[in-house]
Amino acid sequence: MQFEQRTVLGLFDSSQKRFTIPVYQRAYSWEIQQWKDLLDDIKEQLDSANNYSLGNVLLEMVAKDREYEVIDGQQRLTTIVIFLSALFGTLCGRYDENEIKDKKKIYLKHNSNTKLRIVDYDMPFFEAFIIKGENDIRANSVSQRRIKRAYEYFSKEFLKEDIGTLVKILEKFESSEITCVVLDEKKQSALMFELQNNRGKDLTNMEKLKSYLMYQVYRLSESDETNDNVEHLSELFKQIYLVISDLPEKISEDSVLTYHCQAYINGYNYRTINDIKVAYNKNKSIEWINNFTEELYSSFLAMKKIEKNRSKYWKLLGDLNRQAFIYPFIIKGSKYFSDDDNKMEKLLQILEILSFRYLFINSRADFLSRLQGLLTGFKGDVSELRIKTQNLLNETYYWSDFRFKEYLDNPIYGNKTLNYILWQYEESIQNSGYHVANTKISNEQIEHISPQTPTDGNSIESGYEVNELGEYPEGYDKYIHSIGNLVLISGSHNSSIKNVKFQSKLDSYKSNPLLNQQAEIHTFASGTEDKPLWDRRAIEKRKQKLKDFCIKRWSFDS
Q: What is the DSSP string of 168-237?
A: HHHHHHHH-EEEEEEESSHHHHHHTTTPPPSSSPPPPHHHHHHHHHHHHHHHHS-GGGHHHHHHHHHHHH
pLDDT band of residue 185 (cuts 50, 70, 90) is low
pLDDT, position 227? 83
**Residue 192 scores a pLDDT above 70:** no
- Span 260-278, average pLDDT: 95
For residue 361, the tally of other CB atoms under 10 A from its CB is 21
If you ran DSSP here, which 8-state letter would residue 311 be given? -
Q: Are 494 and 524 within 8 A, CB to CB? A: no
Q: What are phi and psi of 53, to 5 degrees?
A: -100, 125
pLDDT per residue as tens digits for the range 55-80: 888 898 888 889 999 988 899 999 99
User: CA 251, CA 244: separation in Å to the nearest integer?
Assistant: 9
Nearest residue to 483 (alpha-carbon basis) of 532, 548, 390: 548
pLDDT band of residue 497 (cuts 50, 70, 90) is confident
- 506 by Cβ neighbours in 10 Å (0-12 / 13-18 / 19+) ranks as buried
pLDDT band of residue 512 (cuts 50, 70, 90) is confident
Of the ranges 22-31, 384-393, 410-419, 502-511, which one carries the lowest mean pLDDT score?
22-31
For residue 41, the tally of other CB atoms under 10 A from its CB is 15
**Residue 197 scores a pLDDT above 50:** no
- Span 287-292, average pLDDT: 96
Contacts of 148 (CB under 8 A, 6+ apart): 129, 139
Of the ranges 126-130, 144-148, 320-324, 455-459, which one carries the lowest mean pLDDT score?
455-459
pLDDT per residue as tens digits for the range 349-381: 999 999 999 999 877 778 899 999 999 999 999
Q: What are phi and psi of 46, to 5 degrees?
A: -60, -35
User: CA 172, CA 407: separation in Å to the nearest integer?
Assistant: 66
Q: Report CA 65 to chain centroid distance, whole Å.
A: 41
Q: Residue length, the chain?
A: 558
pLDDT, position 196? 43
Most confident of 9-23, 361-375, 531-545: 531-545
Q: Are 542 and 518 within 8 A, CB to CB? A: no
- pTM attached to this predicted model: 0.81
pLDDT, position 194? 46
Most confident of 162-176, 192-206, 450-464: 162-176
Nearest residue to 73 (alpha-carbon basis) of 163, 191, 179: 179
pLDDT per residue as tens digits for the range 427-476: 999 876 667 766 788 899 999 999 988 767 788 888 999 888 888 999 99
Higher per-residue confidence, 362 vs 141: 141
pLDDT band of residue 195 (cuts 50, 70, 90) is very low
**Residue 1 scores a pLDDT above 80:** no
**Residue 259 scores a pLDDT above 90:** yes
User: CA 368, CA 508: separation in Å to the nearest integer?
Assistant: 45
- Span 133-158, average pLDDT: 94
pLDDT, position 432? 60
**Residue 538 scores a pLDDT above 70:** yes
Most confident of 178-187, 203-212, 375-384: 375-384
Report the b/e string of 249-267 with b at 16+ CB within 10 A. eebbbeebbbbbbbbbbbb
pLDDT, position 198? 45
Based on C-alpha coordinates, what's the Rg of the chain?
31
